Structure 1
Amino acid sequence: MSLKDQLTQLRDKGLSEIKQATDLKTLNQKIRVQLLGKKGPIVKTLRGIGKLPVSQRPIVGKYANQVKGQLFRSLKKRNLELAKAKLNDELKAEKIDVTLPGKPVKAGHPHLIQVVMDHICDLFIGMGYEVLNGNEVETDEYNFERMNLPKHHPARDMQATFYITPDKNLLLRTQTSGMQARTLEKHDFSKGPLKMISPGVVFRRDNDDATHSHQFHQMEGLVVGKHVTMADLKGTLEFLIHKMFGNEFDIRLRPSYFPFTDPSVEVDMTCFNCGGKGCSVCKGTGWIEMLGAGVVHPNVLKNAGLDPHKLNGFAFGLGIDRFAMLKYGVDDIRDFYLNDMRFLSQFD
């Protein structure tokens, strides 16, 4: 059999095997390597060209190149076909059925403290108050002195403070009153009274226990204008308690002391446990302490450059954490900050 006939036979066999290949591995590792590799039959056949007469060598050599070209083109074509088929199979296997119901994703919900804070803010916005948020890092002047707590005032000992600078000029605010002082000196009273609340987190060096935390949330309110009375204060707080806890709860005002108000009062609410009859929760009084309030001290107005003979007002401060504990029956303030999903998920 001549070399040309051998090449023809190898070509036909190779084209047949390429066409019948069903996967890329067989096509590339077996057919291509075995047929066209250095040890393959075509290379071995081509080695015999040197034994041919000189006149036949170019003819057979040209034919051999044609055979190799046909086989390479057939391999390339089949390679593309098998690669496309493999991709289609993979896409089919990984196809997403968009008609199937999706996996349920549980949505989160606001933290209980945020829920109570938003509720209280909404109530005061409805009464025409402005919500103002202050800085958590405050100066000694606005945190204490502008609120009638000068240096060495004994009331400062009740608010153990986290100081930031050695000179004790910068501190983590112990109350949100700083925003009241800043707003008082900027408000244009010719356009009407000042009605504001300032909610936010405050910091005090309290020992952590069931009812105290080194950080907690506070909201202070301030109304300053002309002819503002204690009756306005009581009506405002009565509205707040009724909306937060229910109309069956009454409030009472009893004398107290705060440096930034005079007169000052503690605001109590009917005991939710006994309805005012007296029990262990309210220590037999029928009342539970809720917040502090009073008439704005004249010195606070003077410190803001205002005339206490022309303007007056009332102020109050409440613990949002305490309101949340009483409203939702939480008996340990630390539960608010532990990120325990068993606790938090109860208030979805």
Structure 2
Amino acid sequence: MTNSSPGTPDLLTVTDLRVTLQTARGPADALRGVSLSLRRGDTVGLIGESGCGKSITALALMGLLPDGAVVSGSIRLHGQELTTLDEPALCRLRGDRIGMVFQEPMTALNPLHTVGRQIGESLRLHKGLGAAAARAEALRLLERVQLPQARERLDAYPHQLSGGQRQRVVIAIALACGPDLLVADEPTTALDVTIQREVLDLIAELVAEDGMGLLLISHDLGVMAQTVQRLLVMYGGTVVESGPTAAVFQRLAHPYTRGLFAARPRLGLARGTRLATIPGRVPELADMPRGCPFADRCERVIDACRATDPPLVALAPGHDARCLRVHG
């Protein structure tokens, strides 16, 4: 569980969240007991390889899981249970109290509508603004996310903007109604390094200004180190290590966390040096092994790792790891 500072009610509380998806090979457990919490102003990161459950967690929070998904556990926003809401109630929630920045802005935006109209849509739906007021607010939002020539861009179509400009539009849409929680799913994947940093700095600045909670999803350790206060490392649909970002990086308690850290690119390596890799691959959802999901790739595995789910071990206040061999 991700712990927050005492004295303030949780904005978001996820408890033992489990999601089973229907696949061609039968039911598959995509999330297996995910728990986290954050308060207003908190910044929390989810990190792990593709297929570990990060994006499914985000879709579960938004109520956007595929048809046929079976959900158990609890997702509470300001104490309101979200897993039992019907679709009309979720539609009222999305874009209003929860905003989301998607991974690829070109697919997140509608190519048939101008960016001004797309930003104004949530303002008309959730805030009841008229066309003129929505357009004026859309311009203010584009200026706030520092889109160059914002007034001229109001009537532009997505294909007329660069990748970084489109991502700023997506951020403006996510922020339009002043959400309590911002979910950013790999928001810089399709951008070059310089634009990545600009977009991440912009998100951090806006979160700090508005006091929102931020859940940032990424596979980039460098992004997490510079952006979030707390870090959750995911593997096989569960959180295998969580804690303050600096503490997780310092301790690297779980073998998977150590593997991710060892595989990162570093300055100063000799030309031609091969990066360390984690052997094997993330198991398919339908082939998830019994016991620790990382057992088949772990160099410290013992028989007990494959026999039972590892317990959550407290390493320090607010810092936990799910591993039988975390102490030896």
**Structure richer in helix, relative to its length:** 1
**Structure richer in strand, relative to its length:** 2
Give the TM-score taking structure 2 as reference length. Answer: 0.23
If you compute each CA radius of gyration, which structure gives the higher value, 1 or 2? 1
Give the TM-score taking structure 1 as reference length. Answer: 0.22
Q: Which has the higher contact order (CA 8 A, sep 6+)?
A: 2
